[in-house]
Amino acid sequence: MRTSTFLNFLFLLIYKHKSKHIAISLISILIVFLISSVLFISSSIQKEVFQTLDAQSDFVVQKINSGKIVNTPNYWIDDFRDINGISNIQERVYGQYFFEPSKKYFTIVGIDLFEEATNKNINLLLKKLNISEFLSKDSMIIGNGVNEVFKKFHYFDDYSFKLHNREVKKVSIFKSLPKDANIIANDLIIMDIFLAKKILNIQEDESTDIVLNVPNELEQSNIKIELILKHLDIRVIQKDDIKKAYENLYNYKGGIFLILFIIVMITFGLILYQRYTMISSSDKKEIGILRAVGWSIKDVIKLKISETFIIAFISFLIGVIIAYIYVYFLNAPILSNIFLGFGNLENRVSYTPNIDFSTIITLFLFFIIPFISAVLIPTWKIAVIEPSESMK
């Protein structure tokens, strides 16, 4: 069989049978779009979260009182300094602030502007910051989500925080963070540590928790034990544990992604099963006619596989392209909320393209093999029966 003639006929048949292919193509595009979108979102979130985590300290230490996390006394910092192998030990101040007008929570983070922060992202921010100007009055840097809420309630230049003693503290808005920091910093308010303590009602000699680094990775487990031995009412969180937790949450092989995958794959399986069982009488007759006019079983199967492959490939390609546009250009409306949560502030994140091609190829194979099998098996079954029977 001459390839050019075969291809001419193949594309002619696909074009003429377009109404027959349209339903399965649309469903396939939708399924590929959903799975690809989930993959793109998960890999982008994972990249962003891991980049953020990489910038964090190796250990977080908190105080536990009657099973509750309470403020950590700062004298613990001196206690921990005695342990060999610890560096960059610092207090951290953060907490949630309820913004009554919109019934939303903001996260206030206090930073010590005169010490090198353990968090690389905050260090970067501090380098770009004109500290004298920032400290000339009580100022704050706000996340994009906070900025939107403030604007909505006409707080363009400053906002007065309510304190525990019913007084208010006016803080001016210094600047807002760029939108590309939205995944992690949408609801953040960054301010001087002492101001943050005042607003969050944390005593001057206390902090929310203490962070520290252990440069020698091999020593980390030993130091964790030493930290616990220093104080009995202590909770030590290692960065690797947080990483593992996020990995389980956002990896496509785990958590909600796995559930989504299973649901989509079951749906896809059902559609293919329907296609398998519904090879219509017109398909049967078509195969019979081809066989009667001299096409061999091999020719017929080649035609049907090629036809199915082209339909599946085009559907896959369209699905992936739409998913790419949906996630990276439109920032995944609706689906994004499923992964980032509907709660609190509306988060308009922008995802950075981070495509794992091996995953795309795996997805392609998982899609194409069942798709072709669902057509190949019934086609072969029809093709091997006598043409006089299949034309009836």
Partner 1 sequence: MIKITNLNKVFNQNTKKEFYALKDINIKIQTSSCVILKGVSGSGKSTLLSILGALSKPSSGDVIIHEDSIAKLPDLHSSAFRARNLGFIFQSYNLFNELNVEENISIPLVPLGFNQKEINEKVEFALKLANIEHKKDETVSNLSGGEKQRTAIARALVNNPDIILCDEPTANLDSVNSLKFIDVMRKLKELNKTIIIATHDPIFDNLDFVDDIINIKDGYILE
Site for partner 1, rule CB under 8 A: 1-2, 4-6, 8-9, 12-13, 16-17, 285-286, 288-299, 384, 386-389, 391
Q: Which is nearer to partner 1, 209 or 286 (CB)?
A: 286
* Minimum distance of partner 1 from residue 319's CB (angstroms): 26
Q: Could you give the angle at which helices 18-54 and 357-384 cross, rounded to 10 degrees?
A: 160
- Gyration radius from the chain CA atoms: 30
Region class of 338: left (phi > 0), else alpha (psi between -120 and 50), else beta: alpha
Q: Which is nearer to partner 1, 16 or 68 (CB)?
A: 16
* Minimum distance of partner 1 from residue 381's CB (angstroms): 14
* Minimum distance of partner 1 from residue 26's CB (angstroms): 20
* Minimum distance of partner 1 from residue 311's CB (angstroms): 16
The string over 145-184, giving b where at least 16 C-beta atoms fall within 10 Å of a residue's C-beta and e elsewhere, is bbbbbbeeeebeeebebeeeeeeeeebebbebbebebbbb
Q: Which is nearer to partner 1, 11 or 329 (CB)?
A: 11
Q: Which is nearer to partner 1, 226 or 299 (CB)?
A: 299
* Minimum distance of partner 1 from residue 376's CB (angstroms): 17
Q: Which is nearer to partner 1, 18 or 253 (CB)?
A: 18
The answer to whether 195 and 174 are in contact (CB under 8 A) is: no
* Minimum distance of partner 1 from residue 19's CB (angstroms): 9
* Minimum distance of partner 1 from residue 285's CB (angstroms): 7
* Minimum distance of partner 1 from residue 291's CB (angstroms): 7
Q: Which is nearer to partner 1, 11 or 75 (CB)?
A: 11
* Minimum distance of partner 1 from residue 274's CB (angstroms): 22
